[in-house]
Amino acid sequence: MRWKKTITMVEAHAEGEVGRIVTGGVLDVPGRTMLDKMNHINQVDDSLRRFLVNEPRGCAQMSTNLLLPKTHSDADAAYMIFQGDKAHAMSGSNSICLVTVLLETGMVEMVEPETIVTLETPAGLVRARAACKDGKCERVTLDMPPSYADQLDAVVEVEGLGKVTVDIAFGGIFYGLIDPAQFGLRITPENARKLVEIGCRVHRAINAQLEVRHPQLEGLEGISYTMFVSHDDDGTMKGATILPPGRIDRSPCGTGNSARLACMHARGLVAEGSTHTARSVIDSTFEVTVTGTTEVAGRPAILPRVSGRGWVHGIHQIGLDPSDPYPLGYMVADCWGDAFDLLS
């Protein structure tokens, strides 16, 4: 074996969504802040992300999280999220994976019954409270970035579908929120491919027809994902986030539900202090709460909290042989979906 690059990862999942954590092999990424570092990956040099995410070293149904030296004195650890399209500023499920890995591998000392971990992300500092017992990180509760409704009941013209109503909201990244009842669909595993196809079409239309830009965080513009939002028969929140180039998040989605709560709060549908259960397409759950209100550049915003569980399930080491013809990997539509035009 002759590798010119070696990277070690600990693998975990949060309520079904896999988030690998890079724990060795990458020293740093250029940039003064985590936002600078994310923008460097997205705008200057994307080779590391592609090496980690694409086949044959990665696969569609997972995220890879890059653990980096912190740039903020109040943080315990810093990271960004690599997915099929680009590096992202924040993720609830991946933060749960990261905290679980940090504590259960001893990278951050576990304190029972509760350990506080402050994560530095490109979207800002995220405070995590981990409930711990007998060496196990049993649950992670995240105080998410301030979230706000950007555009309610916006209408876009979607190819093959006509006019579609969406909400645009920020929950750490931007979402286009869609009621699947517009298409006569429910959020179920057997409808996954139909939801992905519609979600990608709506994604294209939103970024082409609506202006979406964070007023304070440079580089956060356009939606990252669409998310179908509905309720189960018992009234529980149900959601399905569509990730380019075409798959469904297996977790209930922390940033997506933060964005959803912001829209619900703007409509008077959830109260400050209220906690709700959010289900995923595979019926895994997060608990989501509106802990307070604030403002983002003068816009009304909420302070969301997301709580869920993570499990470590493997340790993985990958490398690159100098003769490998696929140093940056590849994607094939049978697994990844065919919305390659949505990739950055």
**Known catalytic residue at 284:** no
Task: Find the angle CA(251)-CA(253)-CA(255) to the nearest 5 degrees.
Answer: 160
Full-model pTM = 0.95
Under 8 Å between Cβ of 278 and 251: no
Instruction: Give 229's Cβ-side CA count (13 Å radius).
Output: 23
**CB crowding 112-125: b at 16 or more within 10 Å, else e:** eeebebbbbbbbbb
Summarised one tens digit per residue, pLDDT across range 59-101 is 999 999 999 999 999 999 999 999 999 999 999 999 999 999 9
Active-site annotation holds for 253: yes
Cα–Cα distance, 6 to 41 (Å, whole number): 19
The 8-class DSSP code of residue 16 comes to T
pLDDT for residue 217: 83
DSSP, residue by residue, 39-93: HHHHHT--HHHHHHHSBTT--SS-EEEEEE---STT-SEEEEEE-SS-EES--HH
pLDDT value of position 344:
67
211 Cβ neighbours under 8 A, 6+ residues apart: none
pLDDT value for 249: 96
Do 92 and 255 form a contact (C-beta atoms < 8 A)? yes
Distances (CA, A) of 140 to 129, 171, 293, 305: 6, 18, 22, 10
Catalytic residue among 91, 93, 224, 251: 91
Give the span between the Cα atoms of 281 and 114, in whole angstroms. Answer: 30
Whether the ω angle into residue 56 lies within 30 degrees of 0, i.e. cis, is yes
Q: Which residues contact 152 (CB under 8 A, 6 or more apart)?
A: 167, 263, 266, 267
Cβ-based neighbour number of residue 343 at 10 Å: 13
Residue segments in the chain with a per-residue pLDDT below the cut of 70: 344
Q: Among 137, 200, 253, 263, which one carries the catalytic annotation?
A: 253
